[in-house]
Structure 1
């Protein structure tokens, strides 16, 4: 009870320790089916459960739901079907599975759980087969299957969702799995034993394994020992909560058991805990995957490394760690002190001194007393510590499920380790282990929806990673150097597979390139590595109408880079005319004061380069004009009118494109929604139809005038001239109308006046008055 309270206090005291864990931000991210990072899919199979790559790397064997497949992967960019054999339960076997309370569609199909090469001509396969495991031998040439009949051994689990591991060595099969319907009886065993040796399994009188989840297995050919990796409940701790412990177990390949004690049982079985944690922090105690990286050429077998993915039992979010263990450290732990289990008290106690026979091979003739000690003392006192006593990589935002590792030689001849880590959210992370720590070079989206990952196989010879999911098989190239389009970006990628070719002017793959490529993985000195290489982007011409909304895009070359804009149009009084959005693009309305040149800069660390350059010019109708000397302008200039000012300025920009440019402030980027609103408002004031056919400013190489300079007077003069001309026409028309109206009114008044005078004149000649035209007729008597 006291130990339980102590654990609770420890958890409370260290619960916030994960807040300080580093988060590996990928430098570049590629969405699913990106053209820059192509993937190759094979979807004629569902529920891929296990993958096996042939020794020559040309064939990929796939164990799936109710089927075995042979895929041609001789080309790295194509996956094609060679052979397929159906292997499904009968209707009666499905019915029996349902009668045991299992789902016919989810639990009762045959999911292939083991696929191993017994020799050069045959494979061994084992499937869950409607909760009644079946074995078969597969002929590779004909790809036909021969079931194994009469053998009651269980070499794969009943439950298709329960993990297991298997390893075939020289025709013998070593498996770690559960052997009962409920999945409660774990076992590590050897089958198809040769040289007259009996098959062996573990002792059942004591609990060697406690609710284990088997993960992986590996062989040390030097000492002829096998290692099994798993997580289990740690019975050596008296906690109220079941504490999961990651383990490594060892057995001798040629173990035959004892003469009387431990007959046909492992006499060499021992296990130790794996320690993956930061000092004074909670451990990552649940093992998710383990990959064996063989030693480089010329090294001994003890230089073998194990790369494991761990999660934490106490983690509240997506958190995982990668720890690396050396085979030499594993061997050392198994030669030191052990704990002994008391059957009466069910407690573990430390043994005094060392016992040379524990964990050793060749105990078949050992005394019964020694073998009794072996049965009780199989847990080491010390655990295997990770190299550096800390994880090489920790993710607080992604949960890794599988790992593969490889060594590769960089341009400087030094070897680096590259990890390929698959997240549960569907991304493959490529990580390089440098002296300064792990760097996530890139992430590639492999699928969108959550899918249980069953297998991850790396082929260094083909340069691909094969991933088996419920949707099929996906092939991912190990590197895609061509995505880095400049020398600086190629060096900043810090990818040991890639270097910049100065002759080919492209980022090329290593090895296989005889040229010495520019690369600097540790110090990333771009200036030195790319000496003499230009980094400027080509200019893009943008033709727009006046008062049209302009959006200049600038794609960040990496997530680590920040972007900024420079232009001679940026002035303190014009800063409100420009908006830089969150994605780095620059937006403004096309006016006389915003036409000009714009450059987008990306800065990553001390390196800064131009990644986008634009010339924004006004649209005009094409027409031919005469120069004062009666010569026609060149055909290429027909769409523009040459504008000459009193003080022509030299055209062209200085060698340094940032010289004389103002940098646009980027403290308050706007969102895409705000930008859409601004663009919609700008369209309300679009006056481009009013200016069609009107010549606009341009850079005329013949005139010697730079109309992109905001300080030149002709820009405002031309704009004002256009405005006055239009207003003058309108006013003139109104004036003509008014004059006409006045003239008509004057004529009408003049005619009325003339008629009145005439009437008066007629009335005075006979001495009588002339009645008005509207008066009634006068009667004369």
Structure 2
């Protein structure tokens, strides 16, 4: 019962967390192939799994570890990625057959390059899975060729590279020595942090397998901090100190000193400086995001102390209630050092349980230089390597939370805005194949844009940032994609440039373009923190208001001309400048009645073409308090009217199209929100072929194309056929009340008639029947009989052939499918 109560409390807390998390929406989205975001891509039919990335010092060459090959790609050109050379490193047929005999899939048996590092200015070091038998080799960077070892045999890669291509690992080289975190056996049961290729007075080191220093870890990343002379490893593992929950996953940071050479008697050829602590990505009074996915280092600003170095990590949750969310936490180097300098837990060797008791410190575990310490000191270090305290994030709060995106990789850089303030920009790769570009503001994170970089989910992928070139490289099974860090030319106006809140971009008033902020001399239009257009732009784009022109037609802007016939369904499209903006429509000196107009979620406006609905239409966008024009249309009747587009007041025999479902007006500014459809509509009778006319705005750089449907019947089929297309938010409360009242009346009448019939039968037993009601009186009057037979009333043409008719106001009658009010137009308010 206690466990059930605890589980219930945890579920409630997680649910509250999920409800309270604000949704982070990218301002602009670029699906794959969108011309507004140009990417460079490399892929080849004979090259796959291009996931291990290494960039040269000059940034012009990208070395890629792929399947059975190492590639040298030329990335010096902005619009192309060209393969310079390919170094084949494939297993033999014999090796592949032996891998299959081990029970492994053939697709997992090739040589997947998982380690690719620079050793010095002339050589690289590469390791691959090589049919579940890891091997390593040297590569000459100048000639780009394999270097044979002195023995002439391949170098064994055990402890340097994983056996399984899907196992995560970490590797980094410092002064020609390789530091790795991986598994050292075929079954993956021997995790190890080790040093290889040691030279001089150094020796190869590893963890003692018998001490339980690692508990089923998943290695994520490793970083070198020169000022500390330490390698920091980041991984997740089972937290044995939490014995009240089975296999509770925790995120760790571990450290070793590069100067470590092992103990003289105790811990010989073993780390004497190994220590680990928990990374706690958690806000106060909330459950932690306990599984680390990726982490990256952000150096401190120029002139700041080294302790201000930040580590930005992506974390997820092991609980299914919270599995769809990702959190970003930042950890400060100074806080990490303070935790490692504190107290340590005690491990009971008999029970392998951690004690919360903190004993007196004999030495400081993790301190460099312990290889010369006494055996007593090394025994203390050997048994006390887990820090008692946890490393909390900066400000003890989450940097960013995404409730609907699962992030897998991250890279970051610090960007200086035009006002001299530094901003942190994160590039986050989602599991669904999008790259999110986010800037961290005082009020929270703001996602500037999202770019689709691959189509299918990728099990293995990687990110690499080149600050000097201003690009992000994304490696996956589909190939390598280069994404420019900024896309300033996409924003066509000062308002859009400022609203993007991109610290890379600013508006240049001299040439009236949005470009890199550091290339503008003065008067830069930029406000990253607030996005205030009025202050950042000297003359922001004015908003045209129809009401200010006193209804004079010659003072209206011309707009895009849309020719229609009467009684046709018109669809005016409004471009989406930003997903954070609200769009609404306006007309000159009149209100858009929700009874006549319908605005959908895509911003389009639907209405029936009548003399009352002809004229000008303006689509406006409001974002961050600033309003701008997006589209202007002028809807006119065709010069040669067709028989179905009759003049007002004339009778036509053409069945009328169903009326547009009504909407309600919500929010300030008259923004219309779509609503749910009601009862199923009957299919209208088409009378004219569907025609669509492309309409484009003056902003051709935005690549917008508008389509206006000009056939009422065919458009109606697409919109309301069978009632299958739902228009969110429609309500039928009035109709429900009317139907309920009518039903109650009918039931009362039926009861009255039944009682009357019983009374008549009783009378007939005692009195002669002199007058038998006729069949007409039993079934009602002539109008009722006509309705029951399905006959047509004088005003029933609107219901013929499955068509719906409009119910006008008290003085309006609908005949021949043409709705009429007192002036022959569509009534504004149906009953």
Normalising by structure 1, we get a TM-score of 0.78
- Stretch deviating more after TM superposition (560-569 or 316-325): 560-569
Aligned to 2:468: 461
Aligned to 2:31: 31
Query: What CA distance in whole angstroms lies between the structure 1 residues aligned with 2:604 and 2:378?
Result: 74
2:454 to 443, 447, 450: 447
Aligned to 2:331: 325
Q: Secondary structure at the match of 2:103?
A: coil
**How many residue pairs get matched?**
646
Aligned to 1:63: 65
Q: Secondary structure at the match of 1:385?
A: coil
Aligned to 2:302: 297
Is 1:436–2:443 an aligned residue pair? yes
How far is 1:6 from its partner? 8.3
How far is 1:204 from its partner? 2.1
Residues 230-253 of structure 1 show CA distances to partners (whole Å, capped at 9, x for unaligned) of: 000111121352011100000001
1:282 to 283, 287, 293: 287
How far is 1:480 from its partner? 0.8
Q: Secondary structure at the match of 2:359?
A: coil
Q: How does 1:624-703 map to 2 (within 5 A)?
A: 666-668=672-674
Is 1:344–2:350 an aligned residue pair? yes
1:93 to 74, 92, 95: 95
Query: What CA distance in whole angstroms lies between the structure 1 residues aligned with 2:470 and 2:682?
Result: 44
How far is 1:117 from its partner? 0.3
Query: What CA distance in whole angstroms lies between the structure 1 residues aligned with 2:104 and 2:87?
Result: 25
Aligned to 1:273: 278
Q: How does 1:343-362 map to 2 (within 5 A)?
A: 343-349=349-355, 350-362=357-369
Q: Secondary structure at the match of 2:264?
A: coil
Q: Secondary structure at the match of 1:282?
A: coil
How far is 1:104 from its partner? 1.4
1:608 to 627, 630, 651: 627
Is 1:187–2:207 an aligned residue pair? no
Q: How does 1:506-655 map to 2 (within 5 A)?
A: 506-536=513-543, 539-547=558-566, 549-568=569-588, 570=590, 576-620=595-639
Aligned to 2:123: 122
Aligned to 2:745: none
Q: How does 1:753-764 map to 2 (within 5 A)?
A: none
Query: What CA distance in whole angstroms lies between the structure 2 residues aligned with 1:663 and 1:602?
Result: 10
How far is 1:493 from its partner? 1.1
Q: Secondary structure at the match of 1:223?
A: coil
How far is 1:351 from its partner? 2.4
Check whether the contact 2:541–2:628 (CA below 8 A) recurs between aligned residues: no
Aligned to 2:512: 505
Check whether the contact 2:507–2:517 (CA below 8 A) recurs between aligned residues: no
Instruction: Note the residue ranges of structure 2 that are not aligned, 5 or more in a row.
Output: 545-556, 641-667, 692-708, 712-831
Residues 634-666 of structure 1 show CA distances to partners (whole Å, capped at 9, x for unaligned) of: xxxxxxxxxxxxxxxxxxxxxxxxxxxx98661
Query: What CA distance in whole angstroms lies between the structure 2 residues aligned with 1:342 and 1:607?
Result: 64
Residues 674-700 of structure 1 show CA distances to partners (whole Å, capped at 9, x for unaligned) of: 999899678699999xxxxxxxxxxxx
Is 1:171–2:176 an aligned residue pair? yes
Query: What CA distance in whole angstroms lies between the structure 2 residues aligned with 1:681 and 1:599?
Result: 30
Q: Secondary structure at the match of 1:611?
A: strand
Check whether the contact 1:113–1:128 (CA below 8 A) recurs between aligned residues: yes
Aligned to 2:22: 22
1:49 to 48, 51, 55: 51
Query: What CA distance in whole angstroms lies between the structure 2 residues aligned with 1:678 and 1:281?
Result: 56
Q: Secondary structure at the match of 1:379?
A: coil
Check whether the contact 1:544–1:590 (CA below 8 A) recurs between aligned residues: no
Query: What CA distance in whole angstroms lies between the structure 1 residues aligned with 2:686 and 2:422?
Result: 55
How far is 1:355 from its partner? 4.2
Residues 47-101 of structure 1 show CA distances to partners (whole Å, capped at 9, x for unaligned) of: 1231111111111110011110010111232211011011111000011111111
Query: What CA distance in whole angstroms lies between the structure 1 residues aligned with 2:36 and 2:685?
Result: 31
Aligned to 1:652: none
Q: Secondary structure at the match of 2:29?
A: strand
Query: What CA distance in whole angstroms lies between the structure 2 residues aligned with 1:687 and 1:147?
Result: 73
Is 1:198–2:218 an aligned residue pair? no
Check whether the contact 1:569–1:594 (CA below 8 A) recurs between aligned residues: no
Check whether the contact 2:135–2:157 (CA below 8 A) recurs between aligned residues: no
1:103 to 99, 102, 105: 105
How far is 1:8 from its partner? 3.9
Aligned to 2:487: 480
Residues 384-409 of structure 1 show CA distances to partners (whole Å, capped at 9, x for unaligned) of: 00111121111111100001110001
Q: Secondary structure at the match of 1:210?
A: coil
Aligned to 1:146: 147
How far is 1:571 from its partner? 5.0
Query: What CA distance in whole angstroms lies between the structure 2 residues aligned with 1:117 and 1:679?
Result: 73
Check whether the contact 1:165–1:177 (CA below 8 A) recurs between aligned residues: yes
Residues 462-498 of structure 1 show CA distances to partners (whole Å, capped at 9, x for unaligned) of: 1111111111111111111122222222111111111
Check whether the contact 1:541–1:617 (CA below 8 A) recurs between aligned residues: no
Does the C-alpha gap of structure 1 residues 99 and 575 become closer, same or farther in structure 2, counting only changes over 3 Å? closer
How far is 1:160 from its partner? 0.9
Q: Secondary structure at the match of 2:370?
A: coil
Query: What CA distance in whole angstroms lies between the structure 2 residues aligned with 1:228 and 1:80?
Result: 34
Query: What CA distance in whole angstroms lies between the structure 1 residues aligned with 2:690 and 2:224?
Result: 73
Q: Secondary structure at the match of 1:383?
A: coil
Query: What CA distance in whole angstroms lies between the structure 2 residues aligned with 1:18 and 1:161?
Result: 32
Residues 187-220 of structure 1 show CA distances to partners (whole Å, capped at 9, x for unaligned) of: 1111111222111111223110010000000011
Check whether the contact 1:341–1:347 (CA below 8 A) recurs between aligned residues: yes
Check whether the contact 2:172–2:178 (CA below 8 A) recurs between aligned residues: yes
Aligned to 1:244: 249
Query: What CA distance in whole angstroms lies between the structure 2 residues aligned with 1:480 and 1:539?
Result: 32
- Stretch deviating more after TM superposition (192-201 or 62-71): 192-201
Aligned to 1:135: 136
Query: What CA distance in whole angstroms lies between the structure 1 residues aligned with 2:14 and 2:540?
Result: 50
Check whether the contact 2:134–2:156 (CA below 8 A) recurs between aligned residues: no
Does the C-alpha gap of structure 1 residues 485 and 226 become closer, same or farther in structure 2, counting only changes over 3 Å? same
Q: Secondary structure at the match of 2:106?
A: coil
- Stretch deviating more after TM superposition (191-200 or 66-75): 191-200
How far is 1:10 from its partner? 5.1
Check whether the contact 1:497–1:510 (CA below 8 A) recurs between aligned residues: yes
1:256 to 238, 257, 261: 261
2:411 to 404, 407, 411: 404
Q: Secondary structure at the match of 1:97?
A: helix
Aligned to 1:235: 240
Q: Secondary structure at the match of 2:223?
A: strand
Q: Secondary structure at the match of 1:369?
A: helix
Query: What CA distance in whole angstroms lies between the structure 2 residues aligned with 1:492 and 1:682?
Result: 44
Does the C-alpha gap of structure 1 residues 337 and 480 become closer, same or farther in structure 2, counting only changes over 3 Å? same
Is 1:374–2:381 an aligned residue pair? yes
Query: What CA distance in whole angstroms lies between the structure 1 residues aligned with 2:285 and 2:223?
Result: 31
- Stretch deviating more after TM superposition (580-589 or 82-91): 580-589
Instruction: Note the residue ranges of structure 1 that are not aligned, 5 or more in a row.
Output: 622-661, 689-781
Report the RMSD for the aligned CA atoms in angstroms: 2.9
Check whether the contact 1:579–1:586 (CA below 8 A) recurs between aligned residues: yes
How far is 1:577 from its partner? 4.0
How far is 1:139 from its partner? 0.7
